[in-house]
Amino acid sequence: DMLIGTESARLATYKAAWLAEQGEKNTYMASIAKCMAADNANRCASDAVQIFGGNGYNSEYPVEKLMRDAKIFQIYEGTNQIQRLIITREKLEKLKTEGMD
């Protein structure tokens, strides 16, 4: 599951970058990529802490730091809740102009 989420976020990031390179608006895909990657980082860190059990919260193990570091990705450069609002807004705008797809 960790790899599935990571590869999915990576592909969304690549698509957002490709759209930017093409000179197209990439707000929708960039928000999806950011939100997906941040959520997955938190899931992976949480799973790693679970795997280590009680030692997962011990500062002697790197997973404790990974858990703290992963949380910042959901907050930095727009919280994931804001990213979800951006995704919804962009999709609604597209539906208004292009219709259902």
pTM of the model: 0.84
pLDDT digits (tens, 9 = 90+) for 43-88: 999 999 999 888 877 788 888 888 888 888 888 877 889 999 999 9
**What mean pLDDT is predicted for residues 22-33?**
97
User: One of 7, 60, 64, 77 is an active-site residue; which one?
Assistant: 77
Residues 6+ apart with CB under 8 A from 21: none
DSSP secondary structure, 13-44, as one string: HHHHHHHHHTT---HHHHHHHHHHHHHHHHHH
Structure confidence at residue 26 (pLDDT): 96
Q: Average per-residue pLDDT in the chain?
A: 91
Percent of the chain's residues with pLDDT above 90 = 62
User: Could you confirm whether 77 is annotated as catalytic?
Assistant: yes
Structure confidence at residue 101 (pLDDT): 60
Distances (CA, A) of 54 to 12, 26, 46, 71: 34, 42, 12, 19
**What mean pLDDT is predicted for residues 86-92?**
96
